[in-house]
Amino acid sequence: MVPGRRNEDIRFFEEKLGYAFRSPDIFREALTHASYANELGLPLYNERLEYLGDAVLGLCVSEILFVSHPDYAEGELSKARSLLVCESTLALWADSMRLQDLLLLGKGLEREGGRENPSILADAAEAVLGAVFLDGGYDAARAVVGGFLASVRPRSCAENRDPKSRLQELLQSQGKKPPTYHLVRRTGPDHAARFEVELTSPGGGVRAFGSGSSIKAAEFDAAETALAKLCGPKAERHKQ
């Protein structure tokens, strides 16, 4: 990615985040995966910020729930918090923020589809929260977490499993082969791209199309459509 394009993507991300970093270095650290740092011999990568961000997220969510739900008992507060800070929720939020476009990954991990890996996305989301805390303090981090909570819904991690996994499990349970996904087209500028994919299942009689702001989001949408065809309309859909 050319520097000008990356700078524009960073500004776009900060606008959606609701926070502009004063220190570009700490934000870059939050975006740097260990694989990239190892390849270039860099001393810093985002695992320490991920550790801090995990604690920041837990504290901010705990405070917000405590204040907004005075009627909740301790067990209810703990359950609500666990629903909001699980990996799948963080990964979906990161994807909606297009955080994957900014990550600095090693070449091997890049080839393996690291930008679409939910664990890597969730870790990077926590690293960003840690960076916000160090850069702007608790109030800034709390505001960003408040935005995060406003954009996600408290669903259990089990319920929040991605539709691609649910579809594959369903087809396997029926003795059918897993589906394949093919990128049909990409439209729009880099900072607001749209992707369309086609899903097919060899021998499974399933064909569906999906669209989204990333390839993963489009694949999720196609998988949801396929699940609806196989099982009937879903009461809830992932919002991309």
Torsion sign over Cα 69, 74, 77, 79:
negative
Among 104, 125, 151, which residue terminates a domain?
Answer: 151
Q: How many structural domains does the chain have?
A: 2
pTM over 0.85, yes/no: no
Residue 118's pLDDT band, with cuts at 50, 70 and 90, is confident
Q: What residue numbers bound the domain in which 8 lies?
A: 3-151
Query: Do residues 14 and 94 both lie within one domain?
Result: yes
Is 240 part of any domain?
Answer: no
Among 87, 122, 151, which residue terminates a domain?
Answer: 151
To the nearest whole number, what is the mean pLDDT of the chain? 85
Query: Do residues 49 and 136 both lie within one domain?
Result: yes
End-to-end distance of the chain based on CA atoms, in angstroms?
24
Query: Do residues 62 and 119 both lie within one domain?
Result: yes
Residue 192's pLDDT band, with cuts at 50, 70 and 90, is confident
Mean pLDDT of 48-59: 96
Active-site annotation holds for 139: no
The CATH number linked to 196 is 3.30.160.20
**pLDDT in the model for residue 232:** 54
**pLDDT in the model for residue 66:** 93
Among 131, 151, 171, which residue terminates a domain?
Answer: 151
Residue 85 pLDDT exceeds 60: yes
Active-site annotation holds for 198: no
Active-site pick, 50, 101, 123, 126: 126
Is 16 part of any domain?
Answer: yes
Is 8 part of any domain?
Answer: yes
The CATH number linked to 53 is 1.10.1520.10
Query: Do residues 101 and 186 both lie within one domain?
Result: no
Residue 28 pLDDT exceeds 50: yes
Active-site pick, 54, 219, 221, 224: 54
**pLDDT in the model for residue 217:** 85
Query: Do residues 192 and 135 both lie within one domain?
Result: no
Of 98, 102, 100, residue with least CA distance to 3: 102
Q: Percent of the chain at pLDDT above 90?
A: 44
Residue 2 pLDDT exceeds 50: no
Q: Is residue 135 within 8 Å of residue 62, measured between CB atoms?
A: no
Query: Do residues 67 and 170 both lie within one domain?
Result: no
Mean pLDDT of 7-29: 91
Adjacency order of strands within the sheet including 194-201 = 180-187, 194-201, 206-212
